[in-house]
Amino acid sequence: MRVGFIGLGVMGRPMAEHVLRAGHTLGVWARRPESAAPLVAQGATAYDTPAALAAASDAVITIITNSRDVEGVAFGPDGLAAGFAPGAVHVDMSTIAPEAARAFARRYAERGIDWVDAPVSGGEQAAQAGTLAIMAGAREDVFERVRPLFAAMGKTIVRVGEAGAGQVAKACNQMVMICALQACAEAMHLARAHGVDLAAVRTALMGGSAASRVLEVMGDRMVRRDFSAGIQARLHHKDFGILLDEAVKIGAPLPIAAQTWQQLNALMKQGWGYDDTSSLLKVLEAATGASE
């Protein structure tokens, strides 16, 4: 396929590289030309505008920050919509609001253009390994058309439902993961308050029913007190804002998520938004004066 890619950051660049290595023709657009340079060196073609990229592509993949950014790239001046031919598809792998995804799908449909919302989970490591979990919202025929692109980037690929369903699944993923991270932080905080060895506690928990990927990775960062960014906390704060806003709109009570949201707010207030979300441990420590 002729594939365009926008969003060449920590996640996007390795994802685009996998698409290129899978044999697809790759075009790229970036606000900063230096972001596109490594891919151009590998054989991708750089375009001056999203519209020009769309005109040369069967499908364009975006992975950028928020709903507003996606709307600007899609429908702003020289946006993708201005260049797409009927039958082309915009595959958005960003984490945005489900209703925004549905609205974009409707706007594209009026132009005969298809849409897939396909947010991902797994972080930078999975992006580099090509083992992302991809949760998609789209018509089944459109999903099948772009499945080969997902196969180049991911290991677990699931069509959840129609447009917006992928974003609903991602909101659920973020809620489970970050609430588990908060529980992990509280466990480490409790262990320290008792004066026991955190590494030993984590090892014991990893052998029991509390074992999880969050405890394995984030718990290790807490034990080592390595709060340098794996995934910046500000991004998880943004994701929680999306899911709780949606919960308010549909009247869905999320009591544990709401409590975790307050801890994320406190983290941001402390100025740790560019640190890893394992910094939730530091929020607890700051509240009790127990930080190292």
Q: State pLDDT tens for residues 200-215.
A: 999 999 999 999 999 9
Reported as a pLDDT band with limits 50, 70 and 90, residue 231 is confident
Quick one: 7 and 150 in the same domain?
Answer: yes
Pairing, β 120-121 against β 132-137: antiparallel
* Stretch 253-273: mean pLDDT: 96
Q: Is the pLDDT of residue 281 over 90?
A: yes
Report how far residue 170's alpha carbon sits from residue 176's, in angstroms, rounded to the nearest whole number: 10
Point out the residues that are catalytic: 170
Give the domain CATH number at 112.
3.40.50.720
Reported as a pLDDT band with limits 50, 70 and 90, residue 265 is very high
* Stretch 106-121: mean pLDDT: 98
pLDDT greater at residue 66 or residue 182: 182
Radius of gyration of the chain (CA): 20
Report how far residue 233's alpha carbon sits from residue 236's, in angstroms, rounded to the nearest whole number: 5
Quick one: 278 and 185 in the same domain?
Answer: yes
Reported as a pLDDT band with limits 50, 70 and 90, residue 230 is confident
Report how far residue 131's alpha carbon sits from residue 15's, in angstroms, rounded to the nearest whole number: 10
Q: What is the extent of the structural domain holding 92?
A: 2-161
| CA atoms within a 13 Å half-sphere pointing along the CA-CB vector of 36 | 20
Which helix (H) or strand (E) segment holds residue 12: the answer is helix 12-21
* Stretch 32-57: mean pLDDT: 96
Which helix (H) or strand (E) segment holds residue 153: the answer is helix 140-153
Quick one: 122 and 10 in the same domain?
Answer: yes
Cβ-contact 81, 113 below 8 angstroms = yes
Quick one: 35 and 134 in the same domain?
Answer: yes
Quick one: 141 and 13 in the same domain?
Answer: yes
Domain boundary residue among 161, 195, 230? Answer: 161
The phi-psi region of residue 7 (left if phi > 0; otherwise alpha if psi is between -120 and 50; otherwise beta) is left
Quick one: 108 and 228 in the same domain?
Answer: no
Residues above pLDDT 70, as percent of the chain: 99
What is the total count of domains within the chain? 2
* Stretch 237-258: mean pLDDT: 94
Q: What is the pLDDT of residue 292?
A: 58
Q: How far is residue 177 from each of residues 62, 79, 187, 206, 270, measured CA to CA in Å? A: 24, 34, 15, 16, 22
Quick one: 104 and 126 in the same domain?
Answer: yes
Quick one: 107 and 186 in the same domain?
Answer: no
Quick one: 49 and 113 in the same domain?
Answer: yes
For 163-172, what is each residue's pLDDT tens digit? 999 999 999 9
Domain boundary residue among 161, 182, 207? Answer: 161
Quick one: 118 and 246 in the same domain?
Answer: no
Domain boundary residue among 128, 161, 194? Answer: 161
Per-residue DSSP letters for 87-129? T-EEEE-S---HHHHHHHHHHHHTTT-EEEE--EESHHHHHHH
Q: Is the pLDDT of residue 112 over 70?
A: yes
Report how far residue 93's alpha carbon sits from residue 77's, in angstroms, rounded to the nearest whole number: 21
Beta-carbon contacts of residue 11 (< 8 Å; ≥ 6 apart): 63, 120, 123, 124, 127
Quick one: 189 and 247 in the same domain?
Answer: yes
Per-residue DSSP letters for 157-185? EEEEESTTHHHHHHHHHHHHHHHHHHHHH
Q: What is the pLDDT of residue 144?
A: 98
Quick one: 130 and 209 in the same domain?
Answer: no
